[in-house]
């Protein structure tokens, strides 16, 4: 688990040192990374910046949206090397996550060695 508080792709899209470090922890040359922007209510500009930054880093980015048609969370998340959670309203995010059972899936991902950030 890599905790980050600001200073990421959204604040400084030219400096991707933090993102590079997170990806390196997966041990994969071209890891897959899933972005969960629940805390910010999934704004399209935030998601676009995520895709732009992580594509530049040579990875295969995806996004998990919970405010649209929600896929099988286990199937999606457990098939990634890195799960990257965006910032925003943590209290609201956790309420949504609990409703969907996401904390259990993230715990399973952590046990499997998937990088969480």
Confidence of residue 22 (pLDDT cuts 50, 70, 90): very high
Least confident of 12-16, 62-66, 87-91: 12-16
Measured CA to CA, the distance from residue 52 to residue 20 in angstroms comes to 14
| Percentage of the chain lying above the pLDDT 70 cut | 96
In 4-19, which positions are buried (b, 16+ CB within 10 angstroms) versus exposed (e)? eeeebbbeeeeebebb
If one compares 77 and 15, the residue with the highest pLDDT of the two is 77
The answer, yes or no, to whether residue 10 has pLDDT greater than 90, is: no
């Amino acid at each position: 688990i890599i905790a980050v508080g600001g200073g990421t792709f959204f604040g400084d899209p030219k400096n991707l040192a933090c993102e590079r470090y997170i990806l390196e922890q997966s041990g994969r040359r071209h890891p897959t990374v899933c972005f969960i922007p629940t805390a910010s209510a999934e704004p399209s500009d935030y998601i676009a910046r995520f895709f732009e930054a992580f594509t530049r880093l040579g990875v295969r980015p995806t996004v998990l949206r919970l405010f649209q048609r929600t896929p099988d969370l286990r199937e999606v998340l457990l098939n990634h090397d890195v799960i990257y959670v965006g910032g925003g309203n943590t209290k609201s995010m956790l309420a949504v996550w609990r409703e969907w059972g996401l904390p259990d899936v993230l715990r399973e991902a952590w046990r499997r060695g998937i990088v969480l950030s």
